[in-house]
Amino acid sequence: MKYQTVIGLEIHAELLTHSKVFCSCSAEFGGEENIRVCPRCSGMPGSLPLFNRGAAELAVKAGLALNCKINNFSAFDRKNYFYPDLPKAYQITQFNHPICSDGYVDIGTKKIRINRIHIEEDAGKLIHDEKRKISLADYNRCGIPLIEIVTEPDIRSAEEAKAFTAEVALALKYAGVCDAKMEQGSLRCDVNISIMPESSKVFGTRTEIKNLNSLRSIGRAIEYEFSRQKKLLESGERVIQQTLHWNDATGVTTALRSKEEAHDYRYFPEPDIPPMFITDEEINTISKAMPEMPSARKARYLSLGLSDADASLLIADKALSDFFDLAVKSYQNPKSVASMIIVEFLRHINDSGFSVEEIALPPADLAQLCKMADEGTVSRSAAKDILKQMLKTLEDPMEIAKKENMLMSNDTSAVEKTADEILAANPKAVEEYRGGSAKVFGFLMGQMCRTLGKSANPAIIKKILEEKLNS
């Protein structure tokens, strides 16, 4: 029998606030354990949460970026459960009244509906020391603001799940809501998955795969879980509703807990935080201040004359696209800048293994290099070498060109002298050319360039060489 997969996603994204969501501790990532902790985020007796309104603003931005309705009234609830990484033994979240609802993301082939986006706090981290047989708790992450984006069960394949997640990650990055670094855990994904016969309309029993932190593992986990559930059904067994853990190394899912052991979270309204009201005016203000989103940016690139492929490639990496925009600001030749970035710059980046942000090259420097090549100050081939050097030393392109003697010389006397010498040294080639073989011109050009070095202007060499040969 043919089966189809039914998937719903829950994406957790860390908000880019400076401080935590219910206290004033810094919301930075990494560093020494338990240094960004206070009575509030560590749940000390008598402490009370204080809501960081900045988190609400970012959540509204996320809602706008994902085509959601922004709710004027939202409220916090407590989700109660015991775990050592949760110092209050409850998580403050929004259960009954989320801040955003009813959105969608267009993944090209279809629209995936978003049920809701709500604000909640992150838990700490446990570090298990196998050698000493102890577990340590690090509360730095406690109280980092998160939004949880919950979809409707509209996704039907691993590809769609990956495309949706990538679109969400990109939209959140553009909106300035989340840096969406899956490898650092600032964007994580829970997958709810069930299968049913292709003709069926009734969903099967679902399982939930927790905490996937790369597009690749989302895809692999879905493929694995699909075949696992299929095998069960085909052998006449039932799928059990349970929570699963994905092991990226072994490529299998294992059960964390089944429905019978499922937590009863005993949600109830958080009495320490009054409900939140956001006026239409406030929503409008945020909406007006929204940064350019990927689709708008792509349209702008097309209007600048970029090809669809180039425009898509640029916007897919926000940092690269921002780099392009800054470069174009200082040299208004978008096509030339795009070509330099996509053909040369991107190749170096990929080879280096660093991201665009990590390479500190000023966009204006790359723009200057483009301009130098376009105006014939340096040759195109010299420009490639200069870029390589710039990425290493971050020197100014003009400095490099001067130092490496790559500035094109417009002194024709040296070219003429060399041409005379080369033609004299290669009588056979000259004869062949004059006999009608155009092919040999390339050979003579090569000889000229080698002798004259990078500073020679190929256009001038070509012109003089042609003149001499045709005279």
Partner 1 sequence: MNLKAILKTATITELSAGLKNKNFSSVELTTAYLERAKALNDKTNAFITIDEEFALKSAEKADELINKGKQKPLTGIPLSVKDNICTENIKTTCASKMLEDFTPFYDATAITRLKKQGAVIIGKTNMDEFAMGSSSGTSYFGGVKNPYDLTRVSGGSSGGSAAAVSASMCVAALGSDTGGSVRQPAAFCGITGLKPTYGAVSRYGLIAFASSFDQIGTMAKTAEDCGILLNAIAVKDEFDATCHTAPFKNCLKDMEKGVEKLKIGLPKEFFGDDISGDVKSAVFNAAKTFEKMGAEIVEVSLPDLKYAVAAYYLISSAEAASNLSRYDGIKYGHRSKTGKSYEDIIKNSRSEGFGDEVKRRIMLGNYALSSGYYEAYYNRAVKIRQKLKAELDDIFKACDFILTPTAPTTAYKIGSFDKNPVKMYSADICTVTANIAGLPAISTTCGYDKKGLPIGMSLMGKAFSEATLIRAASTFEKVFERREAQL
CB of 269 to partner 1, least distance (A): 8
As given in the structure block, the two tokens for residue 201 are: 């309309």
The size of the chain, in residues, is 471
Radius of gyration for the chain, computed over Cα atoms and rounded to the nearest angstrom: 30
CB of 51 to partner 1, least distance (A): 6
Considering beta carbons, is residue 90 or 174 the nearer one to partner 1?
A: 90
CB of 59 to partner 1, least distance (A): 18
Considering beta carbons, is residue 108 or 271 the nearer one to partner 1?
A: 271
Considering beta carbons, is residue 30 or 271 the nearer one to partner 1?
A: 271
112 strand-pairing partners:
105
Considering beta carbons, is residue 46 or 442 the nearer one to partner 1?
A: 46
Q: Between helices 458-470 and 412-425, what is the axis angle to 10°?
A: 50
CB of 52 to partner 1, least distance (A): 11
Tokens 């009575």 sit at which residue? 39
Considering beta carbons, is residue 83 or 203 the nearer one to partner 1?
A: 83
Considering beta carbons, is residue 43 or 54 the nearer one to partner 1?
A: 43
CB of 74 to partner 1, least distance (A): 15
As given in the structure block, the two tokens for residue 37 are: 């902790």
CB of 276 to partner 1, least distance (A): 10
Considering beta carbons, is residue 39 or 197 the nearer one to partner 1?
A: 39
Considering beta carbons, is residue 78 or 173 the nearer one to partner 1?
A: 78
As given in the structure block, the two tokens for residue 1 are: 């029998």
CB of 23 to partner 1, least distance (A): 10
Secondary structure string (H, E, C) spanning the chain: CCEEEEEEEEEEEECCCCECCCCCCECCCCCCCCCCCCCCCCCCCCCCCCCCHHHHHHHHHHHHHCCCEECCEECCEEEECCCCCCCCCEEEECCCCCCEEEEEEECCCCEEEEEEEEEEECCCEEEEECCCCEEEEECCCCCCEEEEEEECCCECCHHHHHHHHHHHHHHHHHHCCCCCCHHHCCEEEEEEEEEEECCCCCCCCCEEEEEECCHHHHHHHHHHHHHHHHHHHHCCCCCCCEEEEEECCCCEEEEEEEHHHCCCCCCEECCCCCCEECCHHHHHHHHHCCCCCHHHHHHHHHHCCCCHHHHHHHHCCHHHHHHHHHHHHHCCCHHHHHHHHHHHHHHHHHHHCCCCCCCCCCHHHHHHHHHHHHCCCCCHHHHHHHHHHHHHHCCCHHHHHHHCCCCCECCHHHHHHHHHHHHHHCHHHHHHHHCCCCHHHHHHHHHHHHHHCCCECHHHHHHHHHHHHHC
Tokens 């898509």 sit at which residue? 312
CB of 30 to partner 1, least distance (A): 22
**How many CB atoms are closer than 10 A to CB 214?**
16
CB of 93 to partner 1, least distance (A): 13
CB of 24 to partner 1, least distance (A): 10
Considering beta carbons, is residue 78 or 298 the nearer one to partner 1?
A: 78
201 close to 37: Cβ distance less than 8 angstroms: no
46 close to 186: Cβ distance less than 8 angstroms: no
CB of 36 to partner 1, least distance (A): 16
Considering beta carbons, is residue 50 or 326 the nearer one to partner 1?
A: 50
Considering beta carbons, is residue 12 or 88 the nearer one to partner 1?
A: 88
68 close to 34: Cβ distance less than 8 angstroms: no
CB of 265 to partner 1, least distance (A): 8
Q: Site residues (CB under 8 A) for partner 1? A: 39, 42-51, 78, 80, 82-84, 87-90, 135, 137, 264, 266-268, 271-274
Considering beta carbons, is residue 80 or 409 the nearer one to partner 1?
A: 80
